[in-house]
Structure 1
Amino acid sequence: MKTTCNKKFRFSFYLLVALLSLSSCGNTKKLRYFQDMPQVKSGAEFNLTKFEEVKIQSDDVLNIRVNTVDLEASEAINNGNNVTPGIARNISTSGYNQMITGYMVANDGTIDIPVLGRIEVAGLTLTEARNKVAAKAEEFYKGATVSMRFANFRMSVIGEVTRPGTFIIPNQRTSVLDAVAVAGDLTVYGKRNNVMLIRRDETGKAVAVTMDLTSKEIFNSPYFYLRQNDVLYVEPTRTRLINADTGSARYISVFISLVSLGIAIFR
């Protein structure tokens, strides 16, 4: 009798270990990024898509600083970043607020800078717009220098990530991986091979593409670098959907059934 009980216990124990091992192996593979990346000690070479500067659009906010020998003039221009009507506003970014200040690009594609006047910048890159503002400043102040950056480069990350939300990034050179990092990485229930990017193109139409973060080909994707107002959606795995629908009780029930079957076999 004692031998039979021991057999039942050992069978139950080994069955539990086997189920946990299979689950662990499967999940580990699904959680790995860049699975096809060459593993060599000297470093792995791969193609990286060329970064193209983002074009300025209406409603973008540009933080512009003009430095001249005339300190009063510089102050008047630079303070315009803070006093332009409708510019300063709070954007909630998953637990903290970020103040946006700068010159908003009007519907006609222009910005209105004190002293320098109205300058058309829509459709230009930051480099092109900076050169244009610098040329205008040079008309008033010899040797003027200009710095410019986006103040509202906004992206949203939703779905199976640790901290979903809308984020303001001060750097236009922002990749899909940067967005994932800012959102706290994917949860264990996020599909790493099926991340959707939703973008509005220049004609106003929405474009949706899927990307595989488990493959090194992500680095060569034309959508690797983000644009203003891009949205990333991380789809949940089937396990997540099942858990949300029935809870973990279903898995416990299956395990109990298997154990009961094993006990019946060894009676």
Structure 2
Amino acid sequence: MSVLVLLLASCSNLKDATYFNNIPDSQFKSNLENLEPVLKENDLLSIAVSSLNPEATQIFNPVNSSEMDRNNSNQAPQYLIDQDGYIRFPFLGRIMAAGKTKPQLREEITEELEKRELLVEPIVNIRYLNFRISVMGEVGNPSVLTIPSEKVSILEALSLAGDLTIYAQRDNVLLIREDKDIKKLTRIDLTSNEIFTSPNYFLKPNDIIYVEPNKSKVASTSRLTSWLPVILSALSLGVIVITAN
């Protein structure tokens, strides 16, 4: 079987098995427009609040405020955006979160805390807790990836999933992205330098990457399927002969 795999791999075109074919030394400006995702229903957030008054801040956090760094949300309470787009925040009540970015929501909470004189110079830090990317198909380790940094490129996601296999179609990777009630399907060519300037270079929460098998994989599977009954029959006959003897 190993010999068969080597033979099939050697028959493949080298260009079909490599990234960024014939790209010279270059520079590309990252496309960071709209990189900050818009919050939506069922997003899970951690919101940490700190201020100059640790005792007053303690109300908004589950741990002692004096033990929490002003920019640390590791122990911050969690908030799930409900189906109506709201979160319930202490003292502020229901706050519309869906349709806003994290900076917009952070600014609104900060302004409300100051306006109601609940805290002096509050600092609000918001993080995604369910920034996930799904990678499927011809990769070393198909999986759902949790991205703590909240920023990941398609190349990084594929690397985290074990990279593409030798049987992957590198010029026809499918990106599935949900935007409100619409699912957008985009084909991406990883053999072209256009990926570096593509708006899809950086992924968004809940993106799905599907890597299709190439013709070599389909052909090898078809050949194996056609020969499988013959192999099984031969093995069965061998067992019968051995048993008879």
| TM-score band w.r.t. shorter chain | 0.7 to 0.9
Q: TM-score, normalised by structure 1?
A: 0.69
Asked whether 1:146 is paired with 2:124, we answer yes
Matched residue SS, 2:171? strand
1:110 Cα shift?
1.6
* Structure 1, unaligned runs of 5 or more: 1-18, 81-100, 251-267
Task: Return closer, same or farther for 1:161/1:238 CA change in 2, 3 Å cut-off.
Answer: same
Question: How far apart, in 2, do the equivalents of 1:51 and 1:78 lie?
Answer: 33
Q: Given the alignment, which residue of 204, 210, 218 partners 1:233?
A: 210
Asked whether 1:35 is paired with 2:21, we answer yes
Question: How far apart, in 2, do the equivalents of 1:58 and 1:200 lie?
Answer: 12
1:26 Cα shift?
4.5
Partner residue of 1:184? Answer: 162
Q: Given the alignment, which residue of 50, 69, 80 partners 2:32?
A: 50
CA RMSD between the two structures: 2.6
1:163 Cα shift?
1.0
Question: How far apart, in 1, do the equivalents of 2:82 and 2:194 lie?
Answer: 38
Asked whether 1:59 is paired with 2:42, we answer yes
Is the 1:150–1:171 Cα contact (8 Å) retained in structure 2?
no
Is the 1:51–1:225 Cα contact (8 Å) retained in structure 2?
no
The amino acid that maps onto 2:123 is: T
Question: How far apart, in 1, do the equivalents of 2:58 and 2:13 lie?
Answer: 57
1:156 Cα shift?
0.8
Count of matched residue positions in the alignment of Structure 1 and Structure 2: 207
The amino acid that maps onto 1:170 is: P
Partner residue of 1:218? Answer: 195
Task: Return closer, same or farther for 1:25/1:242 CA change in 2, 3 Å cut-off.
Answer: closer
The amino acid that maps onto 1:242 is: A
The amino acid that maps onto 2:128 is: F
The amino acid that maps onto 2:217 is: R
Q: Deviations over 1:190-234 (max 9, x none)?
A: 1111100111223x1221110011111011222222222111000
Matched residue SS, 2:99? coil
Partner residue of 1:5? Answer: none
Q: Deviations over 1:94-153 (max 9, x none)?
A: xxxxxxx72111122221122333221211111111111111222310111011111111
Matched residue SS, 2:14? helix
Question: How far apart, in 2, do the equivalents of 1:137 and 1:170 lie?
Answer: 27
* Higher Cα Rg, which structure: 1
Question: How far apart, in 1, do the equivalents of 2:112 and 2:22 lie?
Answer: 51
Question: How far apart, in 2, do the equivalents of 1:46 and 1:169 lie?
Answer: 24
Q: Given the alignment, which residue of 105, 109, 117 partners 2:85?
A: 109
Identity of aligned residues (%): 38
Partner residue of 1:200? Answer: 178
Which residues in structure 2 correspond to 1:71-90 (within 5 Å)?
71-79=54-62
Question: How far apart, in 1, do the equivalents of 2:158 and 2:56 lie?
Answer: 42
Q: TM-score, normalised by structure 2?
A: 0.75
